[in-house]
Amino acid sequence: MIYLMELWESIRDFLATGGDVLYVVMGALFLMWVLMIERYWFLAGVFPKIKRDIIASWDAREDTTSWYAHKIRDAWISEADEKLTARILLIKTCVAICPLIGLLGTVTGMISVFEIMAVQGTGNPRLMASGISMATIPTMAGMVAALSGMFFATRLEARVKRAKHQLIDSLPHH
């Protein structure tokens, strides 16, 4: 329990050092990971049942060679692909937006440095250092968030493509 309290305290100190923009980075990161976890859960738990149902429906058809049968097969594959790729674009958008939010933190941190310089002059380096850390920490946090998301989003996209191709291979057309 003490470990969790110390962890929370260090996170709170980090957020205070980096400024309010870190809350936005944290929100985008949280949204991105919730969406990715949901997609991984869908691929592992929900899609196999959808795939089995489509394969069973295809195998139950007597006609698998006509033009109409191929169009039905294509429609089922398209519907499955739509379910598989749902929210992938939103995940990629979250990955792309994290560094931009970090850059927003850089701008707001530099504005606070300039405000301190205008009011206090350049004689107080401690105040300037807090503004500079407010400028650099959000950038770093946004880049780290984007890197973690990029790696897993790319792997997720590869798994989605593989699942679609496995479905296509499971529906032979004669």
Q: What is the pLDDT of residues 24-57, one digit of tens each?
A: 999 999 999 999 999 999 999 999 999 999 999 9
pLDDT (0 to 100) of residue 24: 93
pLDDT tens sequence across 66-75 = 999 999 999 9
Q: Which two tokens stand for residue 140?
A: 């770093």
Instruction: Specify burial of residue 17 (Cβ count, 10 A radius: 0-12, 13-18, 19+).
Output: middle
Identify residue 131 by its one-letter amino acid code.
G
The domain in which residue 159 lies consists of 2-170
Q: To the nearest whole percent, how much of the chain has pLDDT over 70?
A: 98
pLDDT (0 to 100) of residue 154: 96
> Do residues 153 and 92 lie in contact, with contact meaning Cβ atoms separated by under 8 Å?
yes
Domain count, the chain: 1
Q: Which two tokens stand for residue 55?
A: 């394969």
Low-confidence ranges of the chain (pLDDT < 50): none
> Do residues 46 and 35 lie in contact, with contact meaning Cβ atoms separated by under 8 Å?
no
